[in-house]
Amino acid sequence: MPTFPVQRWSAEGCETVEDHVAEEEPLAVELRHGPVAERKRSPATTTMRTPGHDADLAVGWLYTERHIGMAADVIGIVQVEPNLIRVDLHPEVEIDLARFARAGYASSACGLCGKTLLDVWEDDLPKLAATPHMTWELVTALPAKLAAMQPQFHQTGGVHAAATFSAAGELSAVREDVGRHNALDKLLGAALIDDDLAGPIVLTTARAGFELVQKCAVAGIPVLIAVGAPTSLAVQTARRVGMTLIGFLRGDRFNVYAGTIT
């Protein structure tokens, strides 16, 4: 975890201290694909991320962007360099290189940067299965469980987290990253790699933009809860696919924008 000397000001005056900051570096994702006799290497994307769980991030991104559909589509992952990872796809996986409209660069801030509106609206998101029974008590208990598993945030205050929970509110996995969509991709990528179905509830420390709703819908997650605000497109999409969408989860309060709780 990098540290920098900073001036810390308060009513008592100023002091110079070493401050931990969130690490952010580029990650280039490269694909090895095609028939056995004609294997090719193609760039997929470069994204700014917090180093760590890079395989989860690469596979999760490929999955939630629907370039792959199952764990068996990936036959190998190699960390070629600290900031370069290669995903080896099954020879029968067909890759449409024209779909990598964002190949080259995507910031850690926006999961849809460079994507056209036509691409977004033409996404055929699946209808979700029935959501688990949600109660006020279950929802308001989740943030404390996540907070206890955010070591990078407690050191830096500069990373987002995404976590999956069971229908009973038991925390199953957590991933952190400077990018809110990266944290979610890491979380869902880990579930795909481990062939472990992600829990039906996702909690994010970020706002609930369309891209988070989209990624959860692709992964079949029926409940998305955010500590921040949703966007209009996120609400419309959640209602269309049958997702329970909760925002502004703060203490004992929250808003339900789609779905119902009791």
Cα(22)–Cα(1) distance, rounded to whole angstroms?
A: 7
Tokens representing 184? 């979610």
Cα 217 to Cα 77, 117, 221: the distances in Å are: 25, 18, 6
Tokens representing 71? 């764990």
Going by C-alpha positions, the residue among 35, 78, 40 that lies closest to residue 59 is 78
Contact 186, 218 (CB under 8 A): no
Tally the C-alpha atoms within 13 A of residue 150's C-alpha that lie toward its C-beta. 24
Rg (CA), the chain: 19
Q: Which residues of 66-101 are buried (b: 16+ CB within 10 A; e: fewer)?
A: ebbeeeebbeeeeeeeeebbbbbbeeebebeeeebe
Catalytically annotated residues: 110
| Residues 6+ away with beta carbon under 8 Å from 114 | 101, 102, 105, 106
Q: What is the DSSP letter of 122?
A: H
